[in-house]
Structure 1
Amino acid sequence: MEIRQNFNELIAKTDAEMQRLGWTEAQGREHLMKCFGKRSRLLLTEEELDNFLLFLQLTDSPTPNP
């Protein structure tokens, strides 16, 4: 259960970062498809989700395609 809890925390953190950036769900999906070949964060591994979160945290631009 520890893994699932951590995964859920990562989802919540990516939600907050996407909101900070002003990203829509469609923009998030577009980035996931481009970088991971997956349409949903729920399909990512924990490591991929962590990488997505790090990307969002390091991004200042409001668009996923700088």
Structure 2
Amino acid sequence: MIFLEIIKRELQIAMRKNAEILNPLWFFLLVITLFPLVIGPDPKLLSRIAPGIAWVAALLSALLSF
């Protein structure tokens, strides 16, 4: 129960400043969208590396929110 209260409080604080939420989200979407354009159109390669790229993009975008 305490954990949920902490998460609720943190989300309320984050909602006060929209830029703190939108900047990491935009960064994540840009990385996920542009990365296949850089690598190339090979579906086998993209399907093999997509989970790793998604995790790296998520971690880097999380760094923007701190």
Q: Which has the larger radius of gyration?
A: 2
TM-score by length of 1: 0.38
